[in-house]
Amino acid sequence: MNNSITDENFDTEINSTDKFVLVDFFATWCEPCTMLGPIIEKVAEQFKEKVVLVKANVDKFPKTAQKFEVESIPKVVLFKNGKAINGFVGLIPEKAIKNWLENIIKQ
């Protein structure tokens, strides 16, 4: 999977794996986004057998952000088989993100 998402390849990329795809919608000017980024990366690494992390800069990929109704950032959306199945908005603690992912993956 290519972790460089663009408006043009987004759908192809999230459909190119049988793993969950965790998409981090962010902007470089967003302070909560810069704080969440390393947390999401760490959690994704811990779940790397089941989860692929993709980062989507909303300033560079506005069509994708609009398609998934990204009105507030950071916004994290979890996809499976190309479909958005769950997500959250805002800066949340690492433990909460781990619990959230564990609960979804178990289902």
* Catalytic option among 5, 14, 21, 30: 30
> Has 56 been annotated as catalytic?
no
> Has 28 been annotated as catalytic?
no
Task: Report d(CA 26, CA 47) in Å as an integer.
Answer: 21
Amino acid at 55: K
Q: Is the dihedral of CA 57, 59, 62, 66 positive or negative?
A: positive
* Catalytic option among 33, 40, 65, 78: 33
The side-by-side arrangement of strands in the sheet containing 51-57 is 51-57, 20-26, 75-80, 83-89
Give the residue numbers annotated as catalytic, written as ranges: 30, 33
